[in-house]
Chain A
Amino acid sequence: MRILIVEDDPEAATYLVKALGEAGHVADHAADGEDGLAMAEQVVYDVMVVDRMLPKLDGLAMVGRLRAAGNKTPALILSALGQVDDRVAGLRAGGDDYLAKPYAFTELLARIEALARRITPGVAETVYRVGELALDRLSHIVERGGQRIPLQPREFRLLEYLMRHAGQVVTRTMLLENVWDYHFDPQTNVIDVHVSRLRAKIDKGFDRPLLHTVRGAGYMIRDGAA
């Protein structure tokens, strides 16, 4: 993936470029909002990561201008703020996701990959498949190997989110935000328990596990070894 990083702290930017490179992506760096705007207008990026407070042109204003010009490159807003109202402002300005500083790199990477996935495949996909597991988004039927698996509504949404991002790491906060619509840190391993319940339903009795725990990052659903 080609990623634009708009960040004024050179150390943080260097680290991001390097770490994203190691994760197999190509990252360009702009040190202020005006440079970022110019680069985003010239090159087609898959995702841009924009710091909120930037010299010359504020991060939200930069994204706003790109959106006004019809540029739909998914944008992840980074901010040292991160409370309810800031996040609302960030998303309203055209940001697609919002991450508060300081963040774990695994969290950022997972979100970047989720954002890129969000617009690439057809939205009209109604049945998600991972190996022999199938989830029908219209009839709400989940089957594995022809065997129907009854799920609670929340479990269904959890699985739906995991399968939409099949093959990608999904962090606990991403699950809490997207499945429960809460943006706080619950302090307890509530998400882990929900996931292990779901795992018991979809993986138990089958020899090949599909729902994997990615150590230090989150979860991933995929066909094959973790």
Chain B
Amino acid sequence: MTALLKLFRTTAFKLAVSLLAVFTLTAVLSLGYVVWQAEHLIAQQTVQAVDNEVAALSAIYREEGVSGLASEIEARARQPGSLLYLLTAPNGEPIAGNVGALPAGALDRGGSDEVPYARLGGGERAQARARVRVVVLGGGFRMLVGRDLGERNRLVQVLVRAILGGLALVVLLGLAGALLVAWRVLRRLDGMTASSRAIMAGDLAGRLPVTGSGDEFDRLATATNAMLDRIVTLMTELRQVTDNVAHDLKTPLTRLRNVAEEALRSGGADADRRAALERVIEEADALIGTFNAMLLMARAETGAVRQTMAPLDPAEVAEGVAELYEPVAEEAGVPLTVEAAAGLVVQGNRELLGQAVANLVDNALKHGAGEVTIGLARDGSMARLWVGDRGPGIPAEDRAHAIERFVRLERSRSTPGSGLGLSLAQAVARLHGGTLTLEDNAPGLRAVIALPLATEPGIVTMRERKEAPALLPAPAGTDGK
């Protein structure tokens, strides 16, 4: 019973029933009109037939008088059919015809009328009605011509019965159909609900059933499944990050603790203690740095920074970072060059893009060799902002892994860094609707940030990118914010 109640409560059932109601109402109205029209037409035909008969008989009366008319009526009255005839004498006595009984006074009124009657010798047939016309002839003779209405009424009855029967069938079938549709919808929904419950209960591998029919439920299920996939990916990443965070924070924390403990235990000279304290601060700073990088990445990935974006020329980012790192590169004996295409515009955050490129340059200077190039080129609807080095590169199979958060390839464990550089660059690229990929620089590694272009190049000129001549820096007083 509750199962049936559930069916009745479904939207599909309610929709089907209301559609059925509308359809039935329309059918009743239009069929009712048809019946009414048919009835009207038959009535007209009846009047017409009676009038024709009256005209014919009147002609005979005019030519042959009452006796001629009487014999003609007798002849016609004997023929089978629905026509009625009656000829009465001035005293009201019937002379000829097939009408047995009429209501009193029916013959007194002239003209057309609908009256109950009984056929001569027809027994007591109750409720027979006829459309009649009474004509007063000369000398008090009266003639009645009529037509039985039973046929008409039967026709209308048959029509109405057929229509009502049809409608009943339609309503029954409609209700059954509605229940069927509701049941199917309910079955799909119950399946989805059950799957959702299972997923909520912790079965994260579970997915909503997809029948492959491509209907709206399939689309909903597919979208929901995609969402579940994303959630699972995020959760897996989160778990991995948590593990990595635990590792990356516990290692320096342990070092920090060791240093402090060692200083306490040895109880050495003041200078030793001072050195130990300085190392403690150093380790704490490294920890803070790791935290900051993690926070920034978290912020970048939630998209909270998106509102700080503005149109900018990535070449400016490339040149800005090159300018910042040029002395460091020179000190390391590595030429740092910029190969930037002009006139590209992307929607972005200068600071984050700068930090991403700075991270890549930092990596290139630490792990690469020979030369470092910051490049910018247009590739279809994307701007490719890349940093290439001539170092050992990363084997193709390790590249995707290298971008993952905190991952530092085994051989680079000895060099300092939080291990966040590439993953932060990736977070920044994603935030800008782009990607970070690692490519072969042949030889060396090339890290490419692909960013979607904001407008067609050349339409928006950001500003002259020519460096101001030496000794003519930006206007004075730009100190501060």
Contact = CB atoms under 8 A, between A and B. Distances in A.
A216 B358 CA distance: 24
B218 interface: no
A153 interface: yes
A153 to B, nearest CB: 3
A157 B472 CA distance: 10
Nearest to A101: B288
A184 B325 CA distance: 14
Contacts, number: 102
A119 to B, nearest CB: 11
B296 A188 contact: no
Interface in A186-212: 186-190, 193-194, 197
Contact of B479 (A141, A164, A182, A185): A164
Contacts of A140: 471-473, 476
| Interface SS majority for chain B | helix
Contacts of B281: 104
B296 A83 contact: yes
Size band of the A side of the interface?
Answer: 35 or more
Nearest to B424: A184
B315 interface: no
Given A84-B305, A84-B351, A188-B365, A182 B324 contact: yes
B308 A137 contact: no
Contacts of B327: 190, 193-194, 197
A120 to B, nearest CB: 14
Interface string B273-302: 000001001001100110010011001000
Contacts of B305: 83-85
Nearest to A151: B471
Contact of A153 (B288, B349, B365, B474): B474
B94 interface: no
Interface string B450-481: 00000000000000000110111110111111
A184 B331 CA distance: 22
Interface residues of B, number: 46
A187 B363 CA distance: 10
Contact of B289 (A83, A153, A178, A187): A187
Contact of B295 (A83, A118, A216): A83
Nearest to A185: B289
B471 A100 contact: no
B362 interface: yes
Nearest to B471: A140
Contacts of B113: none
A141 B478 contact: no
A102 interface: yes
B320 interface: yes
B218 to A, nearest CB: 40
A44 interface: no
Interface in A77-123: 82-85, 88, 91, 100, 102, 104, 118, 123
Interface of A: 82-85, 88, 91, 100, 102, 104, 118, 123, 137-138, 140-141, 150-154, 156-157, 160-161, 164, 178, 180, 182-190, 193-194, 197, 216
28 contacts: A82-B295, A83-B304, A84-B305, A84-B308, A84-B351, A85-B305, A88-B308, A102-B284, A123-B477, A140-B471, A150-B470, A151-B471, A153-B468, A153-B473, A160-B479, A178-B479, A178-B480, A184-B355, A185-B292, A186-B324, A186-B358, A187-B289, A187-B362, A188-B328, A188-B365, A190-B324, A193-B331, A197-B327
Q: Which 6 A-B pairs have the closest CB atoms?
A: A153-B473, A193-B327, A137-B476, A184-B355, A156-B473, A83-B299
Interface of B: 278, 281, 284-285, 288-289, 292, 295-296, 299, 304-305, 307-308, 320, 323-325, 327-328, 331, 349, 351-352, 354-355, 358-359, 362, 365, 417-418, 421, 467-468, 470-474, 476-481
